[in-house]
Amino acid sequence: MDTNKLNRILDLMKEQEVPQMIISDPMAIFYLTGKKIVPGERLLALYLNINGGHKLVVNKLFPQEKDLGVELVWYDDIEDGVEILSRFVEKGKTIGVDKTWPAKFLLRLQELEPESKFVNGSLIVDAIRKVKNDDEKQLLREASLANDRVMEELIPLTAKGYTEVELNRIVRGLYEKSGHSGVSFDPITAYGKSGADPHHVTDGSKGKRGDSVVLDIGGILNDYCSDMTRTVFLGEVSDKAREVYEIVKEAQQRGIEAAKPGNRWCDVDFACRNYIEEKGYGAYFTHRTGHSIGLEDHEYGDVSAANEEIIKPGQCFSIEPGIYLMEEGIGVRIEDLVLITEDGCEVLNKFPKDLIVVPME
């Protein structure tokens, strides 16, 4: 296991008086061990104890060829994996468990450990994952720069008459061609009124002259995710759409300026939202301003009015305000990832944000 990451988790477990923890999230296990195991419906559990004796309980269907830095405990399909796991648990003591651990496993362990107190251990792991080390920072930089290049190739294609579904398929091909292992989420390629729906499901619509086109895309490069949004216009842009675009652009810049250590996550949201409200469009900014990112596109920690946590160096999140005018068929969102530094933030996306009108043939 990664000793530095492990020790940070163990220190936080001690601080929060959680003497032992069961990590079942495959991505959290990958974060610590560097090994991806996708167990399906079977039990996979990394047991951590502040006094040592860590174990990885894994089904024999998933043989491991390399040393993962933790003792492996095997079971097969006719054995009770939770009962085997319970042999290592300290009786009557608090146990941290993942927020996503299936109830069938948790309920069984509660039967076996009726004297123990169970708490959400994910908050500890998530807090550690939220602050990136130097290697992770570099991987996030590289992923975002690669995403910029995909966006650059994609934008001219918006005026070629493709449907949203076809354009979505093209985006996936661009990531594959550029060495990504996949997309970090289902790309949003939305024309006109579709773009005025913040999380529109791609359909067979085609763009027409004057449409805004919302392109929300991200890929996975060397296990780390990228995520960015640009909004462009086909052939021409109306005065109203230009006004909305410039408001969103300025709101996003204000959010970027607020993204620095000592401020709260909600301060970034307020910086974007207050400006949009000041311009009369507050009712049309209908989602939070951003989310954390790393090994997964949406990690713990959101940029919203409800999150009063203090921003710390090493954290990475999106800033993506938007205005959505369904009746007028105008949707605009601009998104970049920022990496918090000692005195501000580094914007990981370098692709320009000046308004682009894509020529139509």
The pTM of this model reads 0.95
Token pair, residue 346, equals 């580094």
The confidence score (pLDDT) of residue 20 equals 98
Those residues whose C-beta lies under 8 Å from the C-beta of residue 120, and which sit 6 or more positions away, are 96, 97, 99
Domains of the chain and any CATH numbers: 3-129 (3.40.350.10), 132-358 (3.90.230.10)
The confidence score (pLDDT) of residue 325 equals 97
170 CB-contact burial (10 Å; exposed 0-12 / middle 13-18 / buried 19+):
middle
The confidence score (pLDDT) of residue 361 equals 74
* E strand spans, 51-109: 55-59, 71-75, 95-97
State how beta strands 336-340 and 345-347 pair.
antiparallel
The confidence score (pLDDT) of residue 4 equals 96
Place of tokens 């959010």: 255
Query: Do the Cβ atoms of 199 and 189 come closer than 8 Å?
Result: no
Token pair, residue 99, equals 């927020």
Q: Residue ranges of the chain with pLDDT lower than 50?
A: none
